[in-house]
Amino acid sequence: MSAVRVALLSAEPLDVAAHLDAVEEPTAGAVTTFIGRVRDHDPDASTPVIALEYSAHPDAEATLHRIAADAIGDTGSIVAVSHRIGRLEVGDVAVVIAVASPHRAEAFEVCRGVIEAIKRELPVWKRQVEADGTTAWKGIGG
C-alpha cells in the first residue's frame, strides 16, 4: 500500500476524520495533523478578509502527491493531504494534513515538510476578497 494514502484537490468541504482514518496503521505510534483555515485578516489587507477563492493548475493534484512522497522520504510515515479549491468563507478549512509515523519526531517533521512545500510549490492560487470589495491574487509562496 502506498505511503501517500490521500493527495486530493476538492471543491467539497474537507473531512478531517477521513484523513485520520486514511493513515490508520498499527505500526503508527504517532499521528499529527495540520488544519489550515481561512482567517479574517491578512497583513497586506486594509480591511477584513471575507473570503478566499482558490484555483489550481491541472497538474496540482500530481504535484501534491509528489510533495507528500518527498516529505515522507525514508521515515516510514503515511500521509493523507487535501487542499480545497473554489470559494471559501472565513473559518472554512482550506488544507488538511494527517501524518502517521512510528515515532512523534518523524510525524511532526513530515507534517511540517508537507505544509511548507505546499506553500512553496503547489500550483494553487488564491484571490483574497476584502470587506471593502478589494481583491488581491496570491500565488505560490504567498
pLDDT at 97: 98
pLDDT digits (tens, 9 = 90+) for 79-129: 999 999 999 999 999 999 999 999 999 999 999 999 999 999 999 999 999
pLDDT at 138: 86
Q: Which residue is listed with cell 470589495?
A: 133
Pairing of strands 124-130, 93-101: unpaired
CA dist 110 and 69 (Å) reads: 10
Task: Give the confidence band of 47 by pLDDT, cuts at 50, 70, 90.
Answer: very high
Task: Give the confidence band of 140 by pLDDT, cuts at 50, 70, 90.
Answer: low
Q: The domain that contains 45 carries what CATH number?
A: 3.90.1170.40
CA dist 66 and 72 (Å) reads: 10
The domain in which residue 19 lies consists of: 4-138
- For 13, residues 6+ apart whose C-beta sits below 8 A from its C-beta are 84, 92, 93
CA dist 88 and 105 (Å) reads: 32
Task: Give the confidence band of 10 by pLDDT, cuts at 50, 70, 90.
Answer: very high
Q: Please state the domain count of the chain.
A: 1
